[in-house]
Chains A and B, each alone.
Chain A
Amino acid sequence: KNEVEQSPQNLTAQEGEFITINCSYSVGISALHWLQQHPGGGIVSLFMLSSGKKKHGRLIATINIQEKHSSLHITASHPRDSAVYICAVRIQGAQKLVFGQGTRLTINP
């Protein structure tokens, strides 16, 4: 079983819908990252969380340390939000990240 599990693996929605992507992990962490990967392959860091909630524009990320769970929400989704969203955790005491397999989001106009 992977240390980081994301759901769903694929998500297709209509423009304007509220989107939720989930991430569960099974190890102790010092931080959790949400990343966005566009078709060209480059990755952009969206959020780094160690507790609570962060908001940037239409994106909201939450984390529940006790439940070892994080969610990424997108409000008023737009076709340009179409990308692969990746959850990654920094294991406590370690430098490296462990990645989920990603969620492929497609927003149709």
Chain B
Amino acid sequence: DGGITQSPKYLFRKEGQNVTLSCEQNLNHDAMYWYRQDPGQGLRLIYYSQIVNDFQKGDIAEGYSVSREKKESFPLTVTSAQKNPTAFYLCASSAANYGYTFGSGTRLTVV
């Protein structure tokens, strides 16, 4: 079945460490996105990519980095520069004129 796979489901990080969240899709979608969700708030866009080797900052990109070396993969790195990294992170993909497909999310906790 086609879909988006996010891993891991839960992730714990020590302060000052970088951590990378994985997002893989086998839907042949061109566009991929990373969103952050905090309690009581709507999803906010971190980064998005419309084609391989290209990506744009979203509304809250500071402290995050991404790469898009393959169409199927869009990993997100949460760097030590992100002051409040504890959150729920969702990856999504879309194709032109079609809806979005979301992953199951990664819950990151800084300890």
Question: Once the chains are docked, how many angstroms separate the CA of A88 from the CA of B90?
Answer: 15
Count of inter-chain pairs, beta carbons less than 8 A: 53
- The size bracket of the interface on A is 20 to 34
Asked if B53 CB lies within 8 Å of chain A CBs, one says: no
Residue of A35, A48, A96 near B45 (CB, 8 A) is A96
Shortest beta-carbon distance, B97 to chain A, in Å? 9
Question: Once the chains are docked, how many angstroms separate the CA of A44 from the CA of B105?
Answer: 12
Asked if A105 CB lies within 8 Å of chain B CBs, one says: no
Task: Say yes or no: A100 contacts B42, CB within 8 Å.
Answer: yes
Asked if A4 CB lies within 8 Å of chain B CBs, one says: yes
Residue contacts A-B, CB under 8 angstroms, 21 given: A2-B42, A4-B42, A33-B99, A33-B100, A40-B105, A41-B37, A41-B88, A41-B104, A42-B104, A43-B90, A43-B92, A44-B102, A45-B102, A48-B98, A48-B100, A95-B31, A95-B48, A95-B94, A97-B45, A100-B42, A102-B42
| B interface, CB within 8 angstroms of A | 31, 33, 35, 37, 40-45, 48, 50, 58, 88, 90, 92, 94, 98-105, 107
